[in-house]
Each structure stands twice: as C-alpha cells, then as structure tokens.
C-alpha cells in the first residue's frame, strides 16, 4: 500500500506534464516535418493492425476479375486517385511531395483486395486518404479494387488505352469543376471530364 502514493503522484505529474505540453502549443503540427521514428512506427503498426482487423470479415465479390468491372474501376481511378497514388508512366504530382504520410504508388504496389476495399470505403484518419464510401456505393468501390489488382502489371500504354475506353465517372460530375480537375490532368487528359 505504501507504494501507491508515489505511483499516484507520478501519474498525476505525467498527466499534468502532458496537459502543459498540449496547452503550451510547442508541438509542431506541420506536415513538412516527419514524426519521431518511434511515433511513426507506432502509428503505422496501429494502422496496419486495425485495417487487417476491420477488413478480415469482408466477403470478396465473385466478379472481381470481370473485365467490365475492371474497366469501370480504371475510369474511377483516373478521375479521383492519380494525383495522390500515381499511374503507370506518371513520375510525380504536385500534391505528393507535400503529403505526410506519403501515399503509396499504387501503380507499383500490390494491395490486398479486402484491405483496399476497407480503406477506400472508410479512408484513414489524420492522413490525406479520404473515405469514398459517403459518395460511392460498394459496387463502385469494388470496381476500383478490381482495377487495383491489375494496375501494377500495366504499362503506360495499356493504362492509357484502358482509361480511354472506360465509362465516364458520373458520380464525380458535380465535383469536377471544383476540386478534381487539375491534379494529374495531363496524364489522362480528356477522361475525367467525359461525364460533363
Ligand atoms: C489526397 C490524396 C489521396 C487521394 C486523392 C486518394 N488517396 Fe488513397 N491514400 C492516401 C494516403 C496518404 C494513404 C496512406 C495513408 C497512411 O499511410 O496512413 C492512402 C492509402 C490508400 C490505400 C491503402 C494502400 C496500402 O498500401 O495499404 C488504398 C488502397 C488507397 N489509398 C486507394 C485510393 C483510391 C482507390 C483512391 C481514389 C478513389 C484514393 N486512394 C485517393 C491519399 C490519397
């Protein structure tokens, strides 16, 4: 019992210290300075475990290899994702150098379909990855997942040809002029606005 008092005091001091740190405002919140390696490792591990956990029970649709679904996903991807995740033949975008964490280059990186579905639908807190669920139904999100399974093997020419054939991204029509028209536009010119 004698040990409880000093422990309690230590706990109070720690809480007080943490509160003073937050209140002081000295924490640097800018995206242009990375976390400490320990903070970064902890956040990354937490995120990876959480996505695995939440994605584990998702049932894969039977049509994930359907060419029409993949084609639809190509149009979605070209319209909404390349400014952050790049595409075959795309070196960089204006957005990427300033992003922290840096989005993975999905024209190179293979993603697990369940985890990709979960992340696309729900997004990732405190990162640039938006939740696309509020604006897209599950079938449309699966089309992007289906496309992502093929993307890393595609050459720039194959990618271009597929995006040119893809159905227009109707969901995005209202947003086109506002936010999504400029980034990465040069690599898939014409497509993103086909729905206008
Ligand atoms: C504004 C930038 C931005 C846009 C636009 C964006 N993402 Fe992301 N995305 C991110 C970031 C940042 C991460 C990584 C977050 C992290 O590491 O915590 C990410 C992660 C992902 C992942 C997880 C990859 C992995 O290795 O686990 C997938 C899949 C993904 N995005 C798909 C998409 C798709 C599909 C779209 C378009 C519908 C899209 N993203 C649009 C920024 C973006």
pLDDT along the chain (196 residues), means of 10: 89 97 96 96 97 97 96 97 96 93 97 98 96 97 98 97 90 49 42 40
Calculate how far, in angstroms, residue 93's C-alpha sits from the geometric centre of ligand 1: 14
Q: What is the pLDDT of residue 97?
A: 94
Atom of ligand 1 minimally distant from the CA of 76: 38
Give the separation between CA 129 and CA 81, rounded to whole angstroms: 10
Give the separation between CA 133 and CA 1, rounded to whole angstroms: 52
Calculate how far, in angstroms, residue 104's C-alpha sits from the geometric centre of ligand 1: 7
Mutate which of 119, 125, 141 to test ligand 1's pocket (most atoms within 8 Å of Cβ)? 119
Give the separation between CA 43 and CA 47, rounded to whole angstroms: 6
Q: What is the pLDDT of residue 171?
A: 63
Nearest to 73 by CA among 3, 178, 189, 163: 163
Give the separation between CA 114 and CA 94, rounded to whole angstroms: 29
Calculate how far, in angstroms, residue 85's C-alpha sits from the geometric centre of ligand 1: 7
Residue with the nearest Cα to atom 9 of ligand 1?
129
10 Å Cβ neighbour count for 32? 8
Mutate which of 48, 84, 97 to test ligand 1's pocket (most atoms within 8 Å of Cβ)? 84
Atom of ligand 1 minimally distant from the CA of 126: 18
- Ligand 1 neighbours, Cβ below 6 Å, are 47, 77, 80-81, 83-85, 99, 101, 103-104, 109, 111, 115-116, 119-120, 124, 127-129, 132, 144
Atom of ligand 1 minimally distant from the CA of 43: 18
Atom of ligand 1 minimally distant from the CA of 116: 29
């Amino acid at each position: 019992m004698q040990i409880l008092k000093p422990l309690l005091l230590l706990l109070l001091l720690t809480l007080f210290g943490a509160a003073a740190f937050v209140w002081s405002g000295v924490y640097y919140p800018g995206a242009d300075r990375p976390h400490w390696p320990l903070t970064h490792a902890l956040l990354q591990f937490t995120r990876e475990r959480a996505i695995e956990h939440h994605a584990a029970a998702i049932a894969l649709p039977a049509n994930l290899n359907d060419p029409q679904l993949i084609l639809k996903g190509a149009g979605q991807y070209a319209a909404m994702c390349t400014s952050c995740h790049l595409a075959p033949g795309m070196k960089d975008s204006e957005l990427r150098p300033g992003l922290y964490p840096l989005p993975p280059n999905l024209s190179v990186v293979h993603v697990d379909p369940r985890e990709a579905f979960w992340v696309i639908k729900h997004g990732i807190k405190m990162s640039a990855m938006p939740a696309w669920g509020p604006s897209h139904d599950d079938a449309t999100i699966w089309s992007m997942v289906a496309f992502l399974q093929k993307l890393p093997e595609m050459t720039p020419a194959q990618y271009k040809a597929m995006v040119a054939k893809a159905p227009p991204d109707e969901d995005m029509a209202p947003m086109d002029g506002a936010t999504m028209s400029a980034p990465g536009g040069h690599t898939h010119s014409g497509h993103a606005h086909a729905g206008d």
